Amino acid sequence: MSSYDLKDVEEMADGDQDFMLVVVKTFLDEIPPDVTAMNEAIDSDNAKLAYSYAHKMKPNLKLFGLQLMPQITIIEQWSKQGKNKEEVPEAGKIITVKVEQVCKELKEDFNL
């Protein structure tokens, strides 16, 4: 079973396989460095920067059906309201593991 869901990507592409491939490649190019930067911000206790990366990734994580909104929300609440600070490192770890798995699967599934 796949760790991602391309239903929304397919709907957006409207059958255009080349466009789907561009969307997948863009995800693979942009999301892993953003996850790394977000985790570096978490490690350095920079809530504002962590929020910036988490918020930036949110639409793509949703688009690929990654079910990571609870973790993104934890990071956003930490930044905006100072809440859940103790939960932030684990949220970052969950996001990282899921994104790494999805990237691996996308590369295999799209022969990249």
For residue 52, the surrounding DSSP H or E stretch is helix 47-63
pTM given for the model: 0.93
pLDDT given at position 46: 96
Q: Which candidate, 21, 20, 25, 54, places its Cα nearest to that of 37?
A: 54
Residue that has been written with the tokens 């079910």 in this structure: 67
The Cα 24–Cα 110 span in angstroms is 8
Q: Which amino acid is it at 23?
A: V
75's CB contacts (< 8 A; 6+ apart) are: 38, 42, 50, 51, 54, 88, 91, 92
pLDDT digits (tens, 9 = 90+) for 52-92: 999 999 999 999 999 999 999 999 999 988 888 999 999 99
Residue that has been written with the tokens 């994104």 in this structure: 99
